[in-house]
Amino acid sequence: MHIPDGFLDPITIIVTYAVFVCYMAYSIYFIRRKGVFTSERVSIVSALAAGIFAAQMLNWPIPGGTSLHFVGGGLAGILLGPHLGFLVLFIVLLVQCIVFHDGGITALGANVLNMGIVAVLTGYYCYILASKIWGESRKARLIGGFLGGWLGITLAGIVCGLEIGFSPAFPFGVAVTVPVMGVWHAILGVIEGLITAFVIDYVYLKAPHVVSYLKRVSYGGK
């Protein structure tokens, strides 16, 4: 899903960078105002970023020339909320772009928007919704985790389809790129959903305070 350089037109580049910068500014404001950027959570952000970076290197090639790999946006959103979760994916995407040129510098705004904002927010809200329906139960963790991971990557794929579809460089418009990207990511996203659900459940069993932190933030506490 990492869009390389040369795929997006200047308007799409400017719009996606603007969205990314505005969201980052709001996240920094939120993090400072809420005082959630404690030393312990910096450790969780670092650990999750390192884990997602390593997990993204495990490309599962599929005969026919494509691949599947874990993205982790939904997982970060569920574990750390929409702002610290964004920070995790931003760090991963920045390092991939600057150090390995995986994802273009002109497409960094779009890649952060897709994986760091859309996937993270979707994961977060799916999990909150599941928690409101089923409470702090295992059912909520598994269903919320699965939906967060699956829908997160699917919506990120659809937004990616919009970006490349609107770009004049692509001869096919959004009528082609959105369904192709959406359907493909909805199929591959099942694995993302399963991994997210099991990781959330595992983390809750081993360190419940990490997952419970999300509930406190979403309901107004620290």
Nearer residue to other proteins within complex by CB, 37 or 166: 37
Q: Which residues bind other proteins (CB under 8 A)?
A: 1-7, 35, 37-39, 42-43, 45-47, 49-51, 53-55, 57-67, 91-92, 95-96, 98-102, 104, 164, 169-172
> What is the nearest approach in angstroms of other proteins to the Cβ of residue 58?
5
> What is the nearest approach in angstroms of other proteins to the Cβ of residue 219?
20
**Long-range CB contacts for residues 11-15, cutoff 8 Å, separation at least 24:** 12/110, 12/163, 12/166, 12/167, 13/106, 13/107, 13/109, 13/110
> What is the nearest approach in angstroms of other proteins to the Cβ of residue 89?
12
- Is 115 within 8 Å of 89 (Cβ atoms)? yes
Phi-psi region of 105 (alpha: psi -120 to 50; beta: other; left: phi over 0): alpha
Quick check: helix, strand or coil at residue 68?
strand
Compute the 3-state secondary structure of the chain and give helix, strand, coil in percent, each to the nearest 5: 75, 5, 20
Nearer residue to other proteins within complex by CB, 5 or 201: 5
> What is the nearest approach in angstroms of other proteins to the Cβ of residue 21?
19
What are the DSSP calls for 147-175, one per residue? HHHHHHHHHHHHHHHHHHHHSTTSSS-HH
Quick check: helix, strand or coil at residue 60?
strand
Quick check: helix, strand or coil at residue 62?
strand
Nearer residue to other proteins within complex by CB, 40 or 136: 40
> What is the nearest approach in angstroms of other proteins to the Cβ of residue 32?
8
Nearer residue to other proteins within complex by CB, 101 or 132: 101
The span from the CA of 31 to the CA of 53, in Å, is 23
> What is the nearest approach in angstroms of other proteins to the Cβ of residue 113?
16
Nearer residue to other proteins within complex by CB, 11 or 47: 47
Nearer residue to other proteins within complex by CB, 129 or 191: 191
Q: 35 is written with which tokens? A: 């005082």
